[in-house]
Structure 1
């Protein structure tokens, strides 16, 4: 697998995010519009695309949340990339980049209905935290953090 660090202007990143949005529209149902307003990709400076045999199969991004934290956004693995450790590879690359940029931790939000995502984050050392920011009162949201060393 090949990892590319890029930004939100990358067409492969944009294509994968479109696939993610289509899946989330089904999973989130009536809640999709609420989440979608917080997941724009304009001006994301730190995005990762992973390729297998030259084909983009997954992506993720980080953006500054506060002085010590980067927020993990737009994590997605296409059906062709699943069950190969692709999500973990993307997440580890985002964590490495976070440290290189001088931040101490990653935070993120995902939906309770996205059990594969919850499993991925838990398996990779993320701990449940109270819902933050716009997700504070959202029943379907669950938030995590991981301090990086």
Structure 2
């Protein structure tokens, strides 16, 4: 059974999952890992979702305010042994719901073009490719996405 909890970046299970994520990204990002890693601090993430499968941490995601109307999705990860069970989609849906509850109307995010599973995942969840933003301007390995959040009526 999958259970989702809302927490923050001080949660020990979140910290453990992020360590697994960083080890994975160090391999896929290669020489560019140092550049990306500087934008992945978890010191002050107040909106974190952790998924538990049979009471064990299986995946996580977070967001932070990007501007007055958008949040930036950060630190999405599902452990290798629990992939393919829909956990990441549940985490992302919970993050989107939480963002809507707080009055945000869209989500943005960045992923690497080499993370083909992530690119397919975001497309499947109705994220659209947008021009790179902020620190990702001009970075060829970066792919940025946006999704407009629908309210209950739309």
1:64 matched to 2:75? The reply is: no
In the other structure, the counterpart of 2:134 is 133
Give the match's secondary structure for 2:9. coil
Question: What is the CA–CA distance in structure 1 between the aligned matches of 2:131 and 2:138, rounded to whole Å?
Answer: 10
Q: Structure 2 regions of 5+ residues with no counterpart?
A: none
In the other structure, the counterpart of 1:15 is 16
Per-residue CA deviations over 1:102-138 (Å, capped at 9, x if unaligned) read: 0000000000000110011000000000000000110
Counterparts of 1:1-149 in structure 2 under 5 Å? 1-149=2-150
Q: With the length of structure 1 as denominator, give the TM-score of the two structures.
A: 0.99
Give the match's secondary structure for 1:31. helix
Question: What is the CA–CA distance in structure 1 between the aligned matches of 2:132 and 2:44, rounded to whole Å?
Answer: 25
Q: Give the 4+ runs in structure 1 shifted more than 2 A.
A: none
Report the aligned-residue RMSD: 0.4
Aligned length: 149
Question: What is the CA–CA distance in structure 2 between the aligned matches of 1:30 and 1:64, rounded to whole Å?
Answer: 29
Give the match's secondary structure for 2:66. strand
Q: Structure 1 regions of 5+ residues with no counterpart?
A: none
